[in-house]
């Protein structure tokens, strides 16, 4: 060695990990980086507690067999705000070299506390003890449609989404209460109460554009003289006042739009007593208006009952102010009937006709005597007759004279 000046040394250098670190730490992930003094595989073992033996760590990544000297593995699926222990492991499989780092730690990020949820406001509906809740904005604007029916089916409340529900101060309405009013305010004479009276509160609550109230009734409770379509919902404000209402006769329900709270009920007004029968006679017709002696004349009028009850009426026909005939007609209200008279007259002239102040006339013509038209004289025949008579006279004369002459002899 001294003579040549050269030295040869042989040996084995162990695989080493260094510059181990955790970076890009998030809420649920982190990146682990390290270096080795030779190209080797990459693998990370980690847990929430320290272990002396790397095999005891609860989690590890799959071994990346790509041989590199600068290593990086991303850990995911971690828990936020958690301290993790980890070790890295690299190996050169062909040389059977393995390097394991010491234990290191990192802590995932702590999420910011969630923003407080915006306050929620509700309209509570107490329907005979049943409680319902519907969301509304702080302004009182309804955020969902209300459609709720009482258990007995007699009351339904409908409020469309977007309706403003306000209390007497103009603030959002917090509650709506429906109860049965045990003693109804006095019902005026001539009116009928056909349902329970319902008190909707609180007083002063308003609805824009409206709350639709539907009340049910029993058909057998309707008086005989009341038409079902004339039912309506009324509200009480010092007196009972009607609301524009819609009657569903098939479902036996009445609906009306309500803008404020008070007492409500189904009512009906008794109809006035029907008017007595009243008759109108019109449309006098005479046919024909000119006839021969003895020919029939037909006289008709139209009779109408414009009253409210059935009744009878006498229709009289007068000819030249002399009562000719009377007929009785019986008609129901609004009924119409045609009355017919038939007359004849032999004497010529114009006859006046009166039926219930309606007037007219007809005329009977004069009788026509047929005139005889002389036939033309047949002179030849007349001459022959005269000639014959002369000859006959001469013959008679001759015979008479001859007879006298014979007696004279």
Q: What is the pLDDT of residues 131-173, one digit of tens each?
A: 999 999 999 999 999 999 999 999 999 999 999 999 999 999 9
What pLDDT is recorded for position 371? 60
Q: Could you tell me the pLDDT band of residue 290, with boundaries at 50, 70 and 90?
A: very high
What pLDDT is recorded for position 344? 95
At residue 404, does pLDDT exceed 80? no
What average pLDDT does range 14-43 have in this prediction?
Answer: 95
What average pLDDT does range 261-265 have in this prediction?
Answer: 95
Cis peptide before 362 (omega within 30 of 0): no
What average pLDDT does range 31-48 have in this prediction?
Answer: 96
Classified as helix, coil or strand, 47 is strand
What average pLDDT does range 250-261 have in this prediction?
Answer: 95
What average pLDDT does range 69-81 have in this prediction?
Answer: 95
* 94 C-beta neighbours (distance < 10 Å), count: 7
Does residue 270 contact residue 235 with C-beta atoms inside 8 Å?
no
What pLDDT is recorded for position 34? 96
At residue 375, does pLDDT exceed 70? no
What pLDDT is recorded for position 372? 56
* 220 C-beta neighbours (distance < 10 Å), count: 5
Q: Which helix (H) or strand (E) holds 135?
A: strand 130-136
Q: Which of 70-79, 86-95, 197-206 has the lowest mean pLDDT?
A: 86-95
At residue 1, does pLDDT exceed 50? no
Mean pLDDT across the chain: 90
Residue with tokens 């828990």: 79
What average pLDDT does range 63-70 have in this prediction?
Answer: 94
What pLDDT is recorded for position 232? 97
At residue 255, does pLDDT exceed 80? yes
Q: Cα–chain-centroid distance for residue 319? A: 62
At residue 36, does pLDDT exceed 60? yes
Could you give the CA distance from residue 313 to residue 176 in angstroms, rounded to a whole number? 62
Contacts with 134 (C-beta within 8 Å, 6 or more apart), sequence order: 122, 123, 125, 142, 143, 144, 146, 159
The backbone torsions φ and ψ at residue 6, rounded to the nearest 5 degrees and listed phi first, read -115, 150
Q: Which of 90-94, 207-211, 370-374 ranks highest by mean pLDDT? A: 207-211
At residue 195, does pLDDT exceed 70? yes
- Opening angle at CA 291, ends 285 and 293, nearest 5: 130
What pLDDT is recorded for position 400? 62
Task: Select from 130, 132, 159 the least CA-distant residue to 146.
Answer: 159
Q: What is the pLDDT of residues 95-121, one digit of tens each?
A: 789 999 999 999 999 988 888 888 999
Higher per-residue pLDDT: 404 or 40: 40
What pLDDT is recorded for position 374? 61
Task: Provide long-range contacts, Cβ within 8 A and 24+ apart, for 224-233.
Answer: 225/270, 225/271, 226/192, 226/268, 226/270, 226/271, 227/271, 230/268, 230/269, 231/194, 231/266, 231/267, 231/268, 232/256, 232/266, 232/267, 232/268, 233/264, 233/265, 233/266, 233/267
Higher per-residue pLDDT: 386 or 123: 123
Does residue 164 contact residue 208 with C-beta atoms inside 8 Å?
yes
What pLDDT is recorded for position 401? 61
Phi-psi region of 408 (alpha: psi -120 to 50; beta: other; left: phi over 0): alpha
What average pLDDT does range 281-298 have in this prediction?
Answer: 96
Cis peptide before 288 (omega within 30 of 0): yes
Domains and CATH numbers, the chain: 17-107 (2.60.40.10), 121-269 (2.60.220.50), 279-364 (2.60.40.10)
Could you give the CA distance from residue 214 to residue 247 in angstroms, rounded to a whole number? 10
At residue 226, does pLDDT exceed 50? yes
What average pLDDT does range 349-378 have in this prediction?
Answer: 83
What pLDDT is recorded for position 409? 47
What pLDDT is recorded for position 405? 62
């Amino acid at each position: 060695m001294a003579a040549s000046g050269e030295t040869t040394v042989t040996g084995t250098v162990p695989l080493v990990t260094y510059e181990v670190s955790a970076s890009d730490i998030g809420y649920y992930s982190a990146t682990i980086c390290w270096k080795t003094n030779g190209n080797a595989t990459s693998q990370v073992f980690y847990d929430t507690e320290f272990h002396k033996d790397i095999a005891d760590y609860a989690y590890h990544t799959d071994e990346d067999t790509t041989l590199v000297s600068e290593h990086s593995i991303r850990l995911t699926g971690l828990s936020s705000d958690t301290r993790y222990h980890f070790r890295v492991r690299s190996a050169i499989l062909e040389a059977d070299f393995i390097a394991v780092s010491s234990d290191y730690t990192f802590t995932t990020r702590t999420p910011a506390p969630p923003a407080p949820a915006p306050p929620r406001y509700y309209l509570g509906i107490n329907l005979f003890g049943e409680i319902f809740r519907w969301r509304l904005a702080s302004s009182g604007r309804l955020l969902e449609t209300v459609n709720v029916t009482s258990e007995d089916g007699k009351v339904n409340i409908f409020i469309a989404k977007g309706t403003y529900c306000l209390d007497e101060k103009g603030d959002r309405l917090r509650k709506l209460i429906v109860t049965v009013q045990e003693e109804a305010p006095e019902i005026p004479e001539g009116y009928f109460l056909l349902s329970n009276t319902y008190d909707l509160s609180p007083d002063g609550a308003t609805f824009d554009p409206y709350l639709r109230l539907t009340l049910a009734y029993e058909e057998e409770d309707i008086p005989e003289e009341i038409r079902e379509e004339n039912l309506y919902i009324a509200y009480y404000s010092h007196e009972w006042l009607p609301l524009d209402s819609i009657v569903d006769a098939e479902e036996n329900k009445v609906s009306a739009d309500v803008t404020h709270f008070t007492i409500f009920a189904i009512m009906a007004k008794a109809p006035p007593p029907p008017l007595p029968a009243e008759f109108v006679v019109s449309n006098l017709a005479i046919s024909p208006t000119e006839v021969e002696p003895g020919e029939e004349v037909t006289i008709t009028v139209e009779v109408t009952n414009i009253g409210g009850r059935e009744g009878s009426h006498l229709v009289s026909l007068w000819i030249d102010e002399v009562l000719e005939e009377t007929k009785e007609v019986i008609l129901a209200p609004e009924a119409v009937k045609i009355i017919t008279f038939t007359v004849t007259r032999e004497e010529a002239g114009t006859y006046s006709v009166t039926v219930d102040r309606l007037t007219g006339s007809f005329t009977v013509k004069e009788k026509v005597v047929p005139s005889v038209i002389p036939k033309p004289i047949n002179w030849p025949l007349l001459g022959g007759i005269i000639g014959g008579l002369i000859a006959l006279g001469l013959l008679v004369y001759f015979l008479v004279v001859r007879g006298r002459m014979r007696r004279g002899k």
